[in-house]
Structure 1
Amino acid sequence: MRVRQSAIVTRPPVAALLVASLAVATTVAGMVIAWSLRPPEPAAPTTGPSVDDLRCGSVACQSVVRADVGGDAVEVLIGQGVGRIRTNGASGNNIFELTIAESGAAITADSLECRDAVVSVCLVHGSVGGEVRGELLVRRGGAWSRAQLPYVASGGYLGLGDVNADGVDDVVAVQRACSPGVDCSRRFAQVFSLVGDKAELGCTTVVATQDLLPGWPDVTPAPAQLRPCGA
């Protein structure tokens, strides 16, 4: 019987089929390994607000007012009945207690007054109970310190002024000149020095109203207008 050439079907040897199958399996396995070794997708960057660890009582301190004094920044911070004064810059970083905040003095954006000089001063003040209370930072020789003497002005004014013209600002406090337990409009200015042997430079004469004080509203009497307080 004759067999036509077109009807003959040839099959590859079994060994060839095994080799081909192994090649396919190796290729698939290689693809799986390559996928598993891919570097992970980069995580999206996380951002958050910066946190200041400085506490004022049980809450974070909040900045109320700031002033530049030469190469330093002086900042007043308050919280829950507690205050801080922070200095940073060329003189280093320092934190001072703000004692007038504990006494209930209202600290506002107008509570800080600074003068930059060889001896620099910063006065922090606030009103409470009809008075103005204040405390002072002094920078001498590149270092800040807090003056131990607190200042009280019963007449509603507390400020800085170089009264004796020595290049260092003095503290000027306006006081009432009224009988005990009686309110009145009579006022006088009391001046305190930050340097030298004499802490109290003196007081002005009593005037009928505060606008008659020397230099009002920035009270700065001349040395000749001062006399011993209580005289």
Structure 2
Amino acid sequence: MVKQEVGVDSVELVVGEGAGRIRTSGASGPTIFELTIASSGARIDESSLQCVDAEVAVCLVRGAVNGEVLGEVLVRRSGAWSRAQLPYVASGAYLALHDVNKDTVADVVAVQRVCQAGVDCSRWFAQVFSLAGGGGELGCTPVVREAESLPGWPTVTPDPADLRQCGA
């Protein structure tokens, strides 16, 4: 079991063989969500839970499967937890929370490879998703030749001014 305190709430991962749950408790009351990435085979461990406490709190649950990282997000707005868009997929083995656009709500940063899995890759970029308002894609960084060249590596922190429409 993995547990993090998020302000006045606790967020726990309870994982069994091929199944899992996310349990929240505290001022927001008890809530249980099925952990969909566990049923997809994602490996969940003590580093799988990342939470950012703020007026709009965000928790990311992530796990590796077949060379990718799958993730799902819970958001606490007005004291109630809900599930955000899912799942997030990072082909570049990096998926984390960072407030890229400085709106006080953590964003999802996913590193992507522009190559098939299992081959050497010289094309990488970071894709950023907003969890504020209706959510959606904020954009992508320019493609670089190695993951280590992404801004802030190993904690990828893109500058909003560098984001462009993904696929453009």
Q: TM-score, normalised by structure 1?
A: 0.70
Which amino acid in 2 is paired with 1:126? G
Count of aligned positions: 168
Of the candidates 34, 38, 45, which is equivalent to residue 108 of structure 1?
Answer: 45
Shift, 1:69, TM fit: 0.1
Higher relative contact order (CA 8 A, sep 6+): 2
Give the match for residue 34 of structure 2.
Answer: 97
Cα distance between partner residues in 2 of 1:125 and 1:104: 11
**1:203 corresponds to 2:140:** yes
The yes-or-no answer on 1:122 pairing with 2:59 is yes
Matched, 1:138 2:75: yes
Matching residue's letter, 1:116 = D
User: What is the rounded CA distance, in whole Å, between the counterparts of 2:5 and 2:135 in structure 1?
Assistant: 29
Q: Distance in 2 between matches of 1:120 and 1:223?
A: 21
1:82 is aligned to 2:23: no
* Distance apart, 1:134 and its partner CA: 0.2
Q: Over aligned residues, Cα RMSD in angstroms?
A: 1.5
SS of the counterpart of 1:211? helix
Displacement, 1:149?
Answer: 2.4
Deviations along 1:42-101, one digit per CA (max 9) or x if unpaired, are xxxxxxxxxxxxxxxxxxxxx2x1100000000001112110000111110011000000
Between the aligned residues of both structures, percent identity stands at 68
Instruction: List, as ranges, runs of 4+ consecutive aligned residues in structure 1 with deviation greater than 3 Å.
Output: 179-183
Number of the residue aligned with 1:168: 105
Judged with a 3 Å threshold, the aligned counterparts in structure 2 of structure 1 residues 91 and 198 are, in CA distance, closer, same or farther, namely closer
2: CA distance, partners of 1:139 / 1:186? 35
Q: Given residue 73 of structure 1, which amino acid in structure 2 is its aligned partner?
A: S
User: Does the 8 A contact of 2:100 with 2:159 survive in 1?
Assistant: yes
Does structure 1 conserve the Cα–Cα contact (< 8 Å) formed by 2:71 and 2:86? no
State the one-letter code of the partner of 1:166: D
Structure 1 residues 138-159: Cα deviation after superposition (integer angstroms, max 9, x where no partner): 0000000111321000000000
On the 8 A contact 2:67/2:117 being kept in 1, the answer is no
Structure with the bigger percentage of helix: 1
Query: Take 1:120 and 1:82, find their aligned partners in 2: how far apart are those partners?
Result: 25
Higher strand share: 2
Name structure 1 gaps, 5 residues minimum: 1-62
Q: What's 1:187 paired with?
A: 124
CA gap 1:129/1:198 in 2 versus in 1, 3 angstroms: same
Give the distance between the partners of 1:149 and 1:79, measured in 2 at CA.
21
For 1:175 and 1:110, the matched residues in 2 are separated by 20
Find the aligned partners of 1:198 and 1:67 in 2 and give their Cα distance.
Answer: 24
Q: What is the rounded CA distance, in whole Å, between the counterparts of 1:147 and 1:197 in structure 2? A: 10
Q: Is residue 67 from structure 1 mapped to residue 30 from structure 2 by the alignment?
A: no
Query: Distance between the aligned counterparts of 1:103 and 1:179, measured in 2?
Result: 20
